[in-house]
Amino acid sequence: MHKIIPSVFIFFICISSLFAQQPNKPKASEIFHDLQKLNFLGSALYIAAHPDDENTRLISFLANDIHARTAYLSITRGDGGQNLVGPEIRELLGVIRTQELLAARRTDGGQQFFTRANDFGYSKHPDETLEIWNKDEVLKDVVMNIRRFKPDVIVNRFNHRNPGTTHGHHTASAMLSMEAFDLVGNNTMYPESVNEFGTWQPKRLLFNTSWWFYGSKEKFEKADKSKLVEVETGNYYPALGLSNGEIASLSRSMHKSQGFGSTGTRGSQTEYLEFLKGDFPENKKDIFDGINTTWSRLENGQAIGVILKALEENFNFKNPSQMIPELMKAFDLIKELPNGHWKSIKLEEIKNIIVSCSGLFLEAVANEQNVNPKGDLKVTIEAINRSNANIQLGSITSPCIAFPVSFKATDLDKDEKYTLESTENTFSGTNFSTPYWLKEKGTIGMYHVSNKELIGLPENEHEFPVTFNLAIEGRNISITKNIIYKYNDPVAGEVYQPFDVLPEVTSSIPEKVLIFSSNDSKQIPVKVRAGKDNVSGTITLQHPKGWLISPDHQLFELSKKGEEKTILFTITPPKNQSEGYLKTLVNVGDQFYNKELIQIDYDHVPYQSVLLDSEAKIVRINIQKKGEHIGYIKGAGDAIPESLKQIGYKVTTLLPSEINNKNIEKFDAVVVGIRAYNTVPEMEFKQEILNQYVFNGGTVLVQYNTRHRLVTKDLAPYSITLSKERVTDEFSEVTILEPNHEVLNKPNKISSTDFEGWVQERGLYFPSEWASEFTPILGMNDKAYPESKGSLLVANYGKGHYIYTGLSFFRELPAGVSGAYRLFANLLSIGK
> Segment 514-533, which members bind Zn ion (CB under 5 A)?
none
Cα–Cα nearest to 228, from 286, 160, 170:
286
* Nearer to Zn ion (CB atom), residue 53 or residue 128: 53
Is the Cβ of residue 50 or residue 675 nearer to Zn ion in the bound state? 50
Contact flag: residue 595 with Zn ion (CB under 5 A): no
Smallest distance from the beta carbon of 170 to Zn ion, in angstroms?
6
Cα angle: 48, vertex 599, 611; to 5 degrees: 80
Buried b (16+ CB within 10 A) or exposed e, 797-818: beebbbbbbbbbbbbbbbbbbb
Please give the Cα distance from 796 to 699 (Å, whole number).
9
Residue (53 or 91) nearer to Zn ion, CB: 53
- Rounded Cα distance between 315 and 301, Å, is 21
Closer residue to Zn ion, CB minimum distance, 133 or 432: 133
Amino acid found at 607: Y
Minimum distance from CB of 50 to Zn ion (Å)? 4
CA angle 26, 32, 38 (to 5 degrees): 105
Query: Closer CB to Zn ion, residue 89 or residue 479?
Result: 89
Which lies closer to Zn ion via its Cβ, residue 166 or residue 397? 166
- In the three-class reduction of DSSP (H, G, I as helix; E, B as strand; rest coil), residue 543 is classed as coil
C-alpha R_g of the chain: 30
CB of 99 to Zn ion, least distance (A): 18
The window from 33-41, 48-56, 328-336, 455-463 that contacts Zn ion (CB under 5 A) reads: 48-56
Scanning 44-52, 136-144, 333-341, 713-721 for contacts with Zn ion by CB under 5 A, the matching segment is 44-52
Could you tell me the smallest distance in angstroms from the CB atom of residue 768 to Zn ion?
25
Q: Which residue is nearest to Zn ion (CB)?
A: 50
Q: What's the closest the beta carbon of residue 47 comes to Zn ion, in angstroms? A: 12
Least distance between Zn ion and beta carbon 307 (Å): 44
Contacts for 802 with CB less than 8 Å, ≥ 6 apart:
691, 694, 699, 700, 702, 716, 717, 718, 794, 795
From candidates 50, 135, 203, 822, binder to Zn ion by CB under 5 A:
50
Kindly determine how many residues on this chain lie close enough to bind Zn ion according to the rule CB under 5 A: 2
- In angstroms, the CA 597 to CA 508 distance is 8
The residue among 74 and 791 lying less far from Zn ion, judged by its C-beta, is: 74
Is 79 a binding residue for Zn ion by CB under 5 A? The answer is: no
Q: Rounded to the nearest 5 degrees, what angle is found at the Cα of 247, between the Cα atoms of 42 and 94?
A: 85
Separate counts of helices (H) and strands (E) for the chain: 18, 43
Segment lying near Zn ion (by CB under 5 A), choices 52-60, 220-228, 413-421, 677-685:
52-60
Task: Quote the least distance from Cβ 57 to Zn ion, whole Å.
Answer: 17
CB of 119 to Zn ion, least distance (A): 9
Which C-beta is closer to Zn ion: that of 119 or that of 463?
119
Distance CA 600, CA 433 (A): 13
Specify the residue, 174 or 633, whose C-beta has the smaller distance to Zn ion.
174
Q: Which stretch binds Zn ion (CB under 5 A): 46-54, 564-572, 710-718, 733-741?
A: 46-54
20 vs 604: CA distance, rounded Å: 7
Q: Which is nearer to Zn ion, 53 or 782 (CB)?
A: 53
CB of 102 to Zn ion, least distance (A): 18
Nearest distance in Å: CB 78, Zn ion: 8
Only one of the segments 51-59, 308-316, 650-658, 793-801 lies at the binding site for Zn ion (rule: CB under 5 A); that segment is: 51-59
Q: Closest approach of Cβ 126 to Zn ion, in Å?
A: 13
53 near Zn ion, rule: CB under 5 A = yes
Task: Write out the E strands in 573-716.
Answer: 578-588, 591-593, 595-600, 608-613, 615-620, 629-633, 650-654, 669-672, 699-702
Instruction: 490-496: list long-range contacts, CB under 8 Å, 24+ apart.
Output: 492/18, 494/22, 495/21, 496/21, 496/22, 496/23, 496/606
DSSP codes joined into one string, 784-801: TSPPB--SEEEEEETTEE
User: Phi/psi at 605 (nearest 5 deg)?
Assistant: -135, 155
Residue 592 forms beta bridges with which residues? 587
Task: Spell out, one character per residue from 315 to 354, where the chain touches Zn ion: x when CB under 5 A holds, - when not.
Answer: ----------------------------------------
Contacts of 783 (CB under 8 A, 6+ apart): 125, 127, 128, 729, 732
Choose the binding region for Zn ion from 50-58, 152-160, 192-200, 356-364 (rule: CB under 5 A). 50-58
Listed ranges 42-50, 249-257, 388-396, 686-694: which one lies at the site for Zn ion (CB under 5 A): 42-50
User: Interface with Zn ion by CB under 5 A: which range of 43-51, 320-328, 386-394, 799-807?
Assistant: 43-51
Q: Is-contact 245 269, C-beta < 8 A?
A: yes
Considering the complex, what minimum distance in angstroms separates the CB of residue 438 from Zn ion? 21
53 versus 108: smaller Cβ distance to Zn ion: 53
Could you tell me the smallest distance in angstroms from the CB atom of residue 53 to Zn ion? 4
Residues 6+ apart with CB under 8 A from 334: 304, 343, 346, 347, 350
Neighbouring-strand partners of residue 420: 381
- Whichever of 172 and 206 has its CB closer to Zn ion, that residue is 172
CB 693 within 8 A of CB 665: yes
The site for Zn ion (CB under 5 A) is made up of 50, 53
